[in-house]
Structure 1
Amino acid sequence: MSNIAIRTSELGKRYRQKWALRECNLAIPAGRVVGLVGPNGAGKSTLMNLLVGLLRPTEGQLEVLGEQVQQTTVLHRVAYIDQEHTMYRSFRVREMLKAGRLLNDEWDQSIATDRLAELNIPLDAKIGELSGGQRAQVALALALAKGPELLILDEPVASLDPLARREMMSALMAAKADRDCTVVLSSHVVSELERLCDYLVVLDRGQLKLTGDIDELLDEHRVLISQSPAAPPMPDGVVHRHDDGQRISLLVRGNEPVDPGWLVQRANLEELVMRYLSLAAPPLLGAREIAA
Structure 2
Amino acid sequence: MPFEDSSPALEAEGLTKRYGRRPALTDCRLNVPRGRIVGLVGPNGAGKSTLLQLACGLVPPTSGTLRVLGSAPAANAAHLARVGFVAQDTPVYGSLTVADHLRMGARLNPSWDAGLARRRIEQVGLNPGQKAGRLSGGQRAQLALAVAAAKRPELLILDEPAAALDPLARSSFLRNLMEFVTELGASAVLSSHLLADVERVCDHLVVLGGSRVQVAGDVRDLLAAHHRLVAPRGAFDRLPAGVEVVHSEPGDAHLSAVVRADGPLRDGPWTVAGVTLEELVLAYLTRAAGVPAAHAGTSGMGALR
- The question of a shared fold, defined as TM-score above 0.5 by the shorter chain, is answered with yes
Residue 260 of structure 1 and its aligned partner are, at CA, apart by: 4.1
Q: Deviations over 1:132-189 (max 9, x none)?
A: 1111111111011000000000011101011111111111111122121010001112
Which one of 259, 268, 278 corresponds to residue 286 of structure 2?
278
Query: How many residue pairs get matched?
Result: 280
Q: Deviations over 1:233-292 (max 9, x none)?
A: 54242222111436411111114435543121011111001001111469xxxxxxxxxx
Partner of 2:26: 22
Partner of 1:12: 16
Equivalent runs, 1:143-292 vs 2, <5 Å: 143-226=148-231, 230-234=233-237, 235-236=239-240, 237=243, 238-245=245-252, 247-254=254-261, 255-280=263-288
| Structure possessing the higher relative contact order (Cα contacts under 8 Å, 6 or more residues apart) | 1
For 1:86 and 1:280, the matched residues in 2 are separated by: 32
Indicate conservation of the 8 Å contact 1:233/1:259, yes or no: no
2:80 aligned with 1:72: no
Q: Which secondary structure state, in structure 1, belongs to the residue aligned with residue 287 of structure 2?
A: coil
Partner of 2:61: 57
Q: Deviations over 1:98-135 (max 9, x none)?
A: 11111101001111111111122100001010111111
Residue 3 of structure 1 and its aligned partner are, at CA, apart by: 3.2
Q: Which secondary structure state, in structure 2, belongs to the residue aligned with residue 279 of structure 1?
A: helix
User: Where do 5+ consecutive residues of structure 1 fail to align?
Assistant: 283-292
Partner of 2:299: none
Indicate conservation of the 8 Å contact 1:93/1:124, yes or no: yes
For 1:98 and 1:62, the matched residues in 2 are separated by: 33
Q: Provide the identity percentage.
A: 44
Indicate conservation of the 8 Å contact 2:83/2:155, yes or no: yes
Equivalent runs, 1:91-130 vs 2, <5 Å: 91-130=96-135
Q: Which secondary structure state, in structure 1, belongs to the residue aligned with residue 81 of structure 2?
A: helix
Structure 1 residues 167 and 261: alpha-carbon distance in aligned structure 2, compared to 1, 3 A threshold: same
Indicate conservation of the 8 Å contact 2:121/2:143, yes or no: yes
Partner of 1:289: none
Indicate conservation of the 8 Å contact 2:153/2:184, yes or no: no
For 1:230 and 1:78, the matched residues in 2 are separated by: 50
For 1:39 and 1:82, the matched residues in 2 are separated by: 18
2:144 aligned with 1:139: yes
For 2:54 and 2:233, the matched residues in 1 are separated by: 48
For 2:50 and 2:15, the matched residues in 1 are separated by: 11
Q: Deviations over 1:189-245 (max 9, x none)?
A: 21111021111100012111001111111111110113xx65535424222211143
Letter in 1 for 2:124: L
User: Where do 5+ consecutive residues of structure 2 fail to align?
Assistant: 291-305
Residue 5 of structure 1 and its aligned partner are, at CA, apart by: 1.1
**Higher mean displacement: 11-20 or 255-264:** 255-264
Q: Which secondary structure state, in structure 2, belongs to the residue aligned with residue 194 of structure 1?
A: helix
